[in-house]
Amino acid sequence: MAIRLLKRALDQIKVGQEIQEATQEEITKAQREYFLREQLKTIRRELGEGNEAEAAITEMRKRLSEGKYPEAVKKEAGKELERLATINPASAEYSVVKTYLDWLLELPWNVTTADNVDIGKARDILERDHYGLNKIKDRILEYLAVRKLKADMKGPILCFYGPPGVGKTSLGKSIAEALGRKFIRMSVGGMRDEAEIRGHRRTYVGAMPGKIVQNIRRAGTANPLFIIDEIDKIGNDFRGDPASALLEVLDPEQNNSFLDLYLDVPFDLSRVMFLTTANRLDTIPEPLKDRMEVLHLTGYTEEEKVGIARQYLVPRQIEAHGLKTDHIGFDKKTLVEMIRGYTSEAGLRRLEQAIGQICRKTAKSVAMGEAVIGKISSEALVDFLGPAPYLPELAERKDEAGVATGLAWTAAGGDILLIEATRMKGRGGFNLTGQLGDVMKESAQAALSYVRSHATELGVLEKDFSKTDIHLHVPAGAIPKDGPSAGVTMATALASLLSNRRTRHDVAMTGEITLRGKVLPVGGVKEKVLAARRAGLRTVILPARNEKDLLDIPEEVRKSMTFIFVREIGEVLKEALRSGTGSARGDGVERKGPQGHKELAGKQKSAAAAAKGR
């Protein structure tokens, strides 16, 4: 028993001794580091260098006391400075806290630039940099006028919506210059991480603020002009929804206390003038769209493209390629030929690329000492650009049954849509091809139902439906198509096919159709009219309720075209179908039209005369 007790006592003494030795070793190590650090301080002091960590903390305290920071920032920064002073500079936590303090102190919390309230000068800058766009320029000048009368006005959220290449982003630069503000551009196309907007919490390794705060720090002012590009192409996944994070950023009632997760201190974004750009509106979430004022930039007319090319594109490309005006030049006829034969767009990017291609070939000739043409003629375009890829649509068209010309809206502007219908022996089937969406398929079904329900009026026999299959096709089958605006075009093609009456190839149309034969209004009228004009069509059939949309179309376009406004599909057929008969596709024989069409033909002639007068 005595041996057992002695052994237990010896074990306790041994453990205590080991603990004492380990403690003494740690104390000795800490004392050694302390003595070495003090010696290092003394050596640096003797050399006149001082302690970098202490100098950094002292500088931060000085900046915090002298700078104009909000109370919340002063309180948070002061607390972090006290914490930083107690952390070993060699510790990983030291760099984390120091980086956070650098962000807090370097942000322009109350640094702003004075707005240029000279409206005349702003108008001159906008006119200098951009051709046309009068409605957009007026809106910017209205903003400046209100800003001049009310200095504390909250910045508006404007969304420039239109096809590519019409000058949405470059317009933002001109507005920034007109206002005298710093310009920031951030593209959110393809962004899928919410932290790109709100930032990361400091608990994560490598945490940083979001792109909004980063760009404002880079600009150095709290009231820059901030353009968010491609807002319609923003995405989402398991990392969050950036579009939802933008709701707070783009709301003038909420963004005065925007909370970045990294800063954890509210930042006032109400002084920032936000602009956004988009090619389409249907992909933007409704709550986000509701926070923005949408300004529609439509495509350019041929006259506007020629003016922009002569005033901006040609001089810019000549300078970019090191040429002089006596080396190369473009007259109006050449530019018109380039626009018609080598571009098919609402904007100007392809036109500028074509001009650049000609300039490159000319620069090569100049560099090699060869003779240059000087003025580029329209005949010489083939040598520079090759054969024209775009031919006038009417060159290959003629009046025929079963074909109608519609108008479509796309994200790149307007385009014409040829809808073909044919029939063959069968059992009353109806086939649709051309990669059509559900809405467009429903429009085709509604068009067929209307034609069948009005078969007697159109001179179509009932057996034509029961013993034949009908095939409706929309060419360019590789391109997805959807929307209700092709309803009247489909009804016209079907009526032309089944009544064996030729369709006028020089007439384009758009409108939604109902089962009762009513023609409902559609969108994108300006883009569609410009597409018809580009294709050489001069007569357009529109829904009557779209007549107000002609105000957005340039006057020279309105004067050169004839617009026919209709309320029912019967009016469309009177204007679009010829009075005689023609060979319908797939029929193989010619048939005479019904006797009842004589009166309809007379009405059509009078309607056409009235339309010509309009």
What rounded mean pLDDT belongs to the chain? 83
Residue 390 token pair:
């775009």
Residue 599 confidence (pLDDT) above 50: no
Cβ-contact 421, 495 below 8 angstroms: no
Catalytic pick among 485, 496, 526, 574? 485
Find, among 591, 550, 597, 592, the residue nearest to 570 by Cα: 597
**Nearest 5°: phi and psi at 67?**
-80, 160
pLDDT at 586 over 50: no
Cα–Cα distance between 402 and 271 in angstroms, integer?
Answer: 59
Tell me whether residue 481 is one of the annotated catalytic residues.
no
* Residue pLDDT, tens place only, 30-71: 787 778 777 777 776 676 555 667 777 888 888 888 888 888
What backbone phi and psi angles, to 5 degrees, belong to 578? Answer: -75, 155
Measure the CA angle with vertex 294, ends 288 and 296; round to 5°.
Answer: 140
Name the pLDDT band for 254 (thresholds 50, 70, 90): confident
Most confident option among 18-27, 76-85, 139-148: 76-85
CATH of domain 398-613: 3.30.230.10
Global pTM value: 0.72
- With a cut of 70, say whether residue 180 has pLDDT above it: yes
Tens digits of residue pLDDT in 256-301: 889 899 988 999 888 888 999 998 888 898 988 888 888 888 778 7
Mean pLDDT of 416-443: 90
The SS3 assignment for 205 reads: coil
Between 126 and 520, the higher pLDDT residue: 520
Of 489 and 155, more confident: 489
Residue given tokens 């797939």 in the structure block: 586
Q: Please count the residues of the chain.
A: 614
Share of the chain above pLDDT 90, in %: 23
- In this predicted structure, the answer to whether residue 119 has a pLDDT above a threshold of 60 is yes
For the chain, how long is the longest CA-to-CA vector?
Answer: 135
566 or 592: which leads in pLDDT:
566
Structure tokens, 234 = 């923003």
Annotated domain spans of the chain? 54-106, 119-296, 308-385, 398-613
pLDDT value at position 227?
Answer: 93
* CATH class held by domain 119-296: alpha beta
CA distance 483 to 163: 18
What is the spatial distance between Cα 394 and Cα 532, in angstroms, rounded to a whole number? Answer: 11
**List 182, 305, 526, 528, catalytic entry:** 528
Residue scoring higher pLDDT (496 or 396): 496
Q: What confidence score (pLDDT) does residue 421 get? A: 93
What type of residue is 35? F
Confidence label for 614 from pLDDT (cuts 50, 70 and 90): very low
Rounded to an integer, what distance in angstroms lies between the CA atom of residue 543 and that of residue 145?
38
> Is the pLDDT higher at 155 or at 451?
451
CATH topology (fold) of 308-385: Helicase, Ruva Protein; domain 3 (1.10.8)
Nearest to 416 by CA among 475, 370, 366, 480: 475
Q: How does residue 392 score in pLDDT terms, banded at 50, 70 and 90?
A: low
Separation CA 448–CA 492 (nearest Å): 10
The predicted pLDDT at position 406 comes to 92
Catalytic-residue membership of 150:
no
Mean pLDDT across the stretch 475-484? 82
Task: Give the model's pLDDT for residue 581.
Answer: 56
Instruction: Say what the alpha-carbon torsion angle 178, 180, 184, 188 is, to the nearest 10 degrees.
Output: -40
Q: How far apart are CA 295 and CA 552, in angstroms?
A: 12
Q: How confident is the model at residue 573, as a pLDDT?
A: 92
Short-list 569, 557, 451, CA closest to 510: 569
